Structure 1
Amino acid sequence: MKKEDLIERSIEMRKKAYVPYSKFPVGAAVLTKSGKVYTGCNIENAAYPVSLCAERVAIFKAVSDGETEFVEMAVSADTKRPVSPCGSCRQVMSEFFQPETTIHLTNLQNQLKTVTMEELLPFSFQPDDLPPSL
C-alpha cells in the first residue's frame, strides 16, 4: 500500500470522530504485516479521562482482531503542523511497533512528517523493563 493511500484513509476517518467537547477530530490508519488496514478516530466522553485517541482505537481494533505485527501508521488532524500523537498513544504504539516502524504525521494542508517509532519515542518503557513473571 502506498503511504498516500494510508494517509487518505486516516483523513477520511476524521469525519467519523466523536468530538463534541474538544471539536478536534483526529483520524488514524495502521497497516498490519498481513496487509490489512485498521482505522480509528478519536472518541470523547463527558468524563474526559475515558476518551480514546484515534491511534489507540486503530491499534486496539487490530489487536482485538488478532493482528499484532504492524508495518506503518498514518495520523491526521487539522493542525498548523503535522499532528503529533499524545504521550499515551506513543507508549501504546511502542508496545506494538518495532523501533523502525514508519509513522506518517500530517495535517489538512498536506504537510507531512515521517518518523520511526524510535524517533517518536526514544527510550520508551518496554515489556523487558518489567520484572520476570513468577
Structure 2
Amino acid sequence: MIKKQLTSEIEIYDDISELDKDTQELMKKSLEARKKAYAPYSNFLVGAALLLDNGEVVKGSNQENASYPSGLCAERTAIYWAGANYPDSKILKIAISASSVKKKNDQPIPPCGACRQAIAEYEQKQNHAIEIYFMGLEGKVVKLNSLADILPLAFESKYLEL
C-alpha cells in the first residue's frame, strides 16, 4: 500500500479592494451578472465572469427551471457560451459571486460539484490552469490557482479511452 497526502493552497482576501485592478473589474462583472440570474425556486443568485486570453469577458448567471435538473449554474452558462463562441480561446480567470435573495451572504461560496467538473474539463482541454476567484455578495474573496486546488482527483477524458 502507498499512502499519499493531497494538499491545497488558497489565498483569502478581506474584500474585493485587495485584488489587482483587472481582477476587481472581473469580480464586479460577476456581481452584475448575478443580478440577471433567474432563480425563482431557490432564490439563490449566482453570477460568473470569465476572462479569455483574447481579452473578451464572458458573463453568465444561473438559470433555473421548474424541472430542476434542467437549470444551469452561472459558471457553466459562461464556460459553455465561451466554448461555443470562442472555441480557440483559453479561459484565464473566472470570478464568481453568489448569495441568497433572503439573506445577505458575506462568506465565499465555491463552485458546486458539476461546475468544478466543467472547469476541470476546460483546464484539461486548454492544457492551462484557470485562476478562480469566488465570494458571497460582499466580504472575503478566495483565490484558487487552479481547479485542482479543490478537486485534485478530477475525472478526465483519458479514462474514457481505457
Structure 1 Cα separation of the partners of residues 69 and 32 of structure 2? 25
Higher relative contact order (CA 8 A, sep 6+): 2
Structure 2 Cα separation of the partners of residues 99 and 82 of structure 1? 24
Over 4 Å off, 4+ runs: none
* Aligned position for 2:111: 85
Aligned counterpart in structure 2 of residue 39 of structure 1, from 39, 46, 59: 59
Structure 1 Cα separation of the partners of residues 57 and 29 of structure 2? 9
* Aligned position for 1:64: 84
Q: Is there any run of 5+ residues in structure 1 with no aligned partner, and where? A: none
What are the Cα deviations for residues 59-106 of structure 1, in whole angstroms up to 9, with x where unaligned?
Answer: 011011033511010000123411111100000010102563210011
Aligned counterpart in structure 2 of residue 113 of structure 1, from 118, 129, 142: 142
Q: State which drifts further: 90-99 or 42-51.
A: 90-99
Aligned counterpart in structure 1 of residue 152 of structure 2, from 110, 122, 126: 122
1:107 Cα shift?
A: 1.6
Is the contact between residue 10 and residue 28 of structure 1 (CA under 8 Å) also seen in structure 2? yes
What are the Cα deviations for residues 102-122 of structure 1, in whole angstroms up to 9, with x where unaligned?
Answer: 100112223100012110211
Equivalences, count: 132
Tell me the C-alpha RMSD between the 2 structures. 1.5
The SS at the match of 2:63 is coil
Is the contact between residue 107 and residue 139 of structure 2 (CA under 8 Å) also seen in structure 1? no
1:11 Cα shift?
A: 0.4
Structure 1 Cα separation of the partners of residues 74 and 137 of structure 2? 16
Are residue 103 (structure 1) and residue 132 (structure 2) matched? Answer: yes
Structure 1 Cα separation of the partners of residues 138 and 69 of structure 2? 30
TM-score by length of 2: 0.76
Structure 1 Cα separation of the partners of residues 56 and 149 of structure 2? 25
The SS at the match of 2:35 is helix
Structure 2 Cα separation of the partners of residues 113 and 48 of structure 1? 28
The SS at the match of 1:130 is helix
* Aligned position for 2:68: 48
Is the contact between residue 92 and residue 129 of structure 2 (CA under 8 Å) also seen in structure 1? no
TM-score by length of 1: 0.91
Q: Is there any run of 5+ residues in structure 2 with no aligned partner, and where? A: 1-20, 100-104
Identity %: 39
